[in-house]
């Protein structure tokens, strides 16, 4: 990781357990940019958050010189471009490779969050179906890794890159899902390379903290969701267990 770069007034508004917030912190740490973390309280939206993201009203928000940048994928790309000389590239140099990495990043964010929230108990749903959705998505991403990595250690090549940041940020949620469901998700014999990186290890939540956060979120938001959706709310079938084949997930995680 690069040494801390001089940066005017860089702040991150977010919650420590969010993978979307974590990827912003990792991007800044990869660049060696010092920042202030403004912790959001679970279930509440602070004045700074609402003022800086009045459209979506959600974290993370990067405040750079008092100006807000919203949406995690947008923020990571902004950090890469704004602090281009401060540390290693995050996105590939080649325009086509950048487009491919952006495609798979958006694919991951479209396929994984809802299923992982279901597995973590944050929202109601069929956990077996959610597990299958996660495994299917990671199977696609495993194939993408072969092309993006060009035979090297990471999606970004020899070092952590854009897709590694995007996908690796979900590892905490995977570990929490494993604790909550009792099903093996991560192969602990394969130490994730991403989690060991110096830009990551101090901001990656452990399994116990992630699962505790998920349970607190579930207690807070389930009554709201049930009230909104009524009797039509999707619920897990009694006795349903997660019986998905996790082989591709374990293989995929081993490269992170």
Q: What is the pLDDT of residues 125-171, one digit of tens each?
A: 888 898 888 889 988 998 999 899 988 889 998 889 999 999 999 98
Q: What is the pLDDT of residues 85-111, one digit of tens each?
A: 999 999 999 999 999 999 999 999 999
Residues 72 and 156 in one domain: no
Q: Report the number of distinct structural domains present in the chain.
A: 2
Q: How many helices (H) and strands (E) does the chain have?
A: 10, 4
74 and 152 share one domain: no
- What is the residue whose two structure tokens read 């999606």? 155
For residue 174, tell me if it sits in a domain.
yes
**How distant, in Å, are the alpha carbons of 44, 58, 91, 109, 192 from that of 105?**
28, 19, 11, 6, 19
Dihedrals φ, ψ of 165, to 5°?
Answer: -65, -45
Query: Model confidence at 248, in pLDDT bands (50, 70, 90)?
Result: very low
Which letter does DSSP use for residue 6 in this model?
Answer: P
Instruction: Assess if residue 242 is contained within a domain.
Output: yes
* Domain boundary pick from 23, 57, 82: 82
Both 129 and 246 in one domain: the answer is: yes
- Among the candidates 30, 51, 82, a domain finishes at 82
109 and 44 co-located in one domain: no
Check whether residue 100 and residue 218 sit in a common domain. yes
Q: How many whole angstroms separate alpha carbon 68 and alpha carbon 57?
A: 12
Residue environment code for 6-24, b if the CB has 16+ CB neighbours within 10 A, otherwise e: ebeebbbbbbbbbbbbbbb
Q: Is residue 30 assigned to a domain?
A: yes
The answer as to whether 2 is a domain residue is no
Residue 66: give the domain boundaries: 10-82
CB 83 within 8 A of CB 69: no
Q: Do 131 and 56 fall into the same domain?
A: no
Instruction: Please give the pLDDT value at position 150.
Output: 87
The token pair at 22 is 């974590």
- pLDDT tens-digit series, residues 4-23: 665 569 999 999 889 999 99
Residue 51 and residue 59 in contact, taking contact as beta carbons nearer than 8 Å: no
Residue 87, domain member (yes or no): no
d(CA 90, CA 154): 12
CATH code at 132?
1.20.1050.10
Using the 3D structure, point to which of 82, 104, 134 is the last residue of a domain: 82
CA distances from 181 to 76, 120, 132 (A): 31, 7, 14
Starting at the edge strand found earlier in the chain, the sheet holding 10-14 runs 36-39, 10-14, 61-64, 67-70
Q: Do 77 and 164 fall into the same domain? A: no
**Distance, C-alpha 251 to centroid of its chain:** 19
In a domain, 123, yes or no: yes
Is there a single domain that holds both residue 210 and residue 100?
yes
């Amino acid at each position: 990781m690069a040494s801390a770069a001089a940066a005017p007034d860089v702040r991150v508004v977010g919650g420590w357990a969010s993978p979307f917030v974590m990827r912003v912190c990792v991007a800044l740490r990869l660049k060696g940019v010092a920042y202030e973390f403004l912790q959001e309280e679970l279930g509440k939206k602070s004045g700074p958050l609402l003022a800086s993201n009045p459209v979506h009203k959600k974290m993370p928000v990067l405040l750079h010189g008092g100006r807000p940048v919203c949406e995690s994928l947008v923020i990571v790309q902004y950090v890469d471009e704004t602090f281009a000389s401060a540390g290693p590239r995050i996105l590939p140099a080649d325009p086509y490779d950048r487009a491919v990495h952006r495609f798979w990043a958006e694919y991951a964010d479209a396929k994984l969050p809802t299923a992982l929230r279901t597995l973590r108990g944050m929202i109601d749903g069929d956990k077996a179906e959610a597990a299958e959705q996660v495994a299917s998505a990671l199977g696609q991403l495993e194939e993408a890794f072969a092309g993006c990595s060009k035979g090297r250690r990471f999606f970004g090549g020899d070092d952590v890159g854009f897709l590694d940041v995007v996908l690796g940020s979900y590892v905490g949620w995977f570990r929490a899902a494993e604790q909550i469901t009792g099903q093996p998700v991560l192969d602990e014999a394969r130490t994730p390379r991403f989690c060991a990186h110096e830009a990551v290890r101090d901001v990656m939540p452990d399994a116990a903290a992630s699962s505790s956060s998920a349970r607190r979120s579930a207690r807070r938001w389930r009554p709201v969701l049930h009230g909104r959706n009524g009797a039509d709310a999707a619920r897990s079938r009694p006795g349903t267990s997660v019986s998905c084949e996790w082989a591709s997930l374990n293989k995929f995680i081993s490269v992170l």
